[in-house]
Amino acid sequence: MRFLFVDRIIALESGRTIETLKNVSATEDVFDDHFPGYPILPGALVVETFEQASQLLIGVSHDFARVGRLRGVQRAAFRHFVRPGDQLRVRCARSAGDDAGWIVSATAEVDGRRVASATLDFALVPAVDEERAHAERVREAVRVLRAAPVELTGPGGAA
């Protein structure tokens, strides 16, 4: 995962579901071209956010011994624009599968309103050889994204 589209893991139930947050910042490079004067997060990046959240769920669920390889996306629907300043809440749930592959149902909401959904099909492959590096990146991402947020302190000291 070179570009990470998950800022925080909110909830995770191994083998079942994951909920994540993506804070959509106006400073993201994509908004230079998509679209000047009316910035919109491309649907492909929403699907990438679904894929990354699913990768985190797959990694945790298999103790990082297996990784997911996206085989396909079905029934992708985009209902509302995602714009700078939005907080994208993503929920991915395993709806079918075994050790060979998973089907994941994904939804994204902004302020409680569904903005996108899709079904993702993953092949699960052993994390050996070149896949080992991918599994280690996913493991590190989970460690960082599950950490407690930084405590902010006021002018007088401890929070």
> Residues with catalytic annotation?
34
Mean pLDDT score of the chain, rounded to an integer?
93
Nearest to 55 by CA among 142, 115, 148, 147: 142
Report DSSP letters for 116-148, one per residue: EEEEEEEEEEE--THHHHHHHHHHHHHHHHHSP
Look at residue 97 and tell me whether its pLDDT is greater than 50.
yes
pLDDT of residue 150: 59
CA distances from 20 to 5, 27, 35, 58, 70 (A): 10, 20, 26, 14, 19
Look at residue 141 and tell me whether its pLDDT is greater than 60.
yes
What residue ranges define each of the domains in the chain, with the CATH number in brackets?
Answer: 8-146 (3.10.129.10)
Q: What is the pLDDT of residues 14-60, one digit of tens each?
A: 999 999 999 999 999 999 999 989 999 999 999 999 999 999 999 99
Look at residue 159 and tell me whether its pLDDT is greater than 50.
no
Contacts of the segment 51-54: beta carbons below 8 A, 24+ positions apart: 51/120, 52/1, 52/4, 52/5, 52/6, 53/6, 53/18, 53/20, 53/90, 53/92, 53/106, 54/18, 54/92, 54/102, 54/104, 54/106, 54/120, 54/122
Whether the link from the prior residue into 81 is cis, omega within 30° of 0, is: no
